[in-house]
C-alpha cells in the first residue's frame, strides 16, 4: 500500500492497532488520528483505571487538540 498510516499500542492489554489513512494524509493528520484512536480504544474498553498515559512525541498535535473548542450555533 502506498500512503500514510497510524498505529496505537496498548501496553497493559498487549493490543496493537494500525490504520491506513490513504495516500494524501499528512504526518500531522496521522498523529492526530493516532491520538484520537487511542482515546476511543480506552473508552471502549471501559477499564477501571482512573489515570491513563498517552505517549506522543508531536507537540504540534497535542497543542492542536488542547486548543479545540466546541460551541453550539443558535438556531433561529
pLDDT single digits (tens) 6-20: 888 877 777 888 889
Residue 75 is given by DSSP the state: P
**How do residues 22-66 score in pLDDT, each as one tens digit?**
889 998 999 999 888 888 888 887 777 777 777 888 889 989 988
pLDDT of 75 reads: 66
Q: What confidence category does residue 67 fall into, taking pLDDT thresholds of 50, 70 and 90? A: confident
Q: Are 17 and 37 in contact (CB under 8 A)?
A: yes
Cα 66 to Cα 56: distance, rounded to the nearest angstrom: 13
pLDDT of 1 reads: 55
pLDDT of 4 reads: 86
Calculate the alpha carbon distances from 76 to 17, 70, 71, 73 in Å. 44, 19, 16, 9
Domain ranges across the chain: 4-66
Amino acid at each position: 500500500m502506498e500512503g500514510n498510516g497510524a498505529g496505537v499500542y496498548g501496553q497493559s492489554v498487549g493490543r496493537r492497532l494500525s490504520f491506513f489513512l490513504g495516500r494524501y494524509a499528512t504526518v500531522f493528520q496521522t498523529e492526530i488520528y493516532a491520538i484520537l484512536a487511542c482515546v476511543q480504544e480506552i473508552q471502549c474498553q471501559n477499564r477501571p483505571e482512573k489515570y491513563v498515559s498517552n505517549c506522543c512525541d508531536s507537540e504540534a498535535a497535542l497543542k492542536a487538540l488542547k486548543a479545540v473548542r466546541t460551541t453550539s450555533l443558535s438556531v433561529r
